[in-house]
């Protein structure tokens, strides 16, 4: 019980002290972990456990991606914000399809896309820290 409380305390401290960019990175990591757990669910033999694991983890990934999408400032000039908003919308639709139809392919696709975005974001944060 104490280890659970310590983990929660650590997570709370990490979130409260993170930069906005760091929070975005944490959200991406959370969505990726949820998708990986959902993909593990596809290997489950028992149908009830399988469907529950897939559904719960894809729902968590969708909620997290929806937060990332909502955080985009569409008032910023240029196309990047709108393109990211649309890309997150595509990811949400694909995860919904994967969840509803219990298909791995859309989840694998979104996981790959988000991994690329996450890695680019992490590199950008490292470059910013090196410049500061």
What domains can you pick out in the chain, each with its CATH number?
19-131 (1.20.120.340)
For residue 4, the model assigns a pLDDT of 64
pLDDT at 90 (0 to 100): 98
pTM comes to 0.87
**Phi, psi dihedral angles at 3 (to 5 degrees):** -65, -35
Q: 75 by DSSP, 3-state: which?
A: coil
Enter the DSSP assignment of 118.
H
The answer to whether residues 41 and 123 touch, using CB atoms and an 8 Å cutoff, is: no
| Tens of each residue's pLDDT in the chain, 132 residues | 666 665 555 455 555 556 889 999 999 999 999 999 999 999 999 999 999 999 999 999 999 999 999 999 999 888 999 999 999 999 999 999 999 999 999 999 999 999 999 999 999 999 988 887
């Amino acid at each position: 019980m104490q280890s659970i409380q310590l983990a929660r305390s650590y997570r709370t401290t990490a979130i409260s002290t993170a930069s906005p960019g760091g929070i975005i990175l944490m959200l991406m990591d959370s969505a990726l972990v949820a998708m990986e757990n959902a993909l593990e669910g596809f290997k489950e033999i028992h149908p009830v456990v399988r469907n529950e694991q897939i559904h719960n983890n894809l729902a968590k990934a969708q909620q997290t991606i929806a937060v990332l999408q909502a955080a985009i400032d569409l008032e910023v000039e240029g196309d990047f914000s709108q393109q990211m908003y649309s890309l997150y919308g595509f990811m949400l639709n694909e995860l919904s399809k994967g969840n509803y139809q219990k298909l791995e392919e859309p989840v694998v696709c979104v996981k790959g896309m988000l991994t690329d975005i996450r890695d680019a974001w992490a590199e950008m944060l490292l470059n910013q820290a090196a410049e500061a």
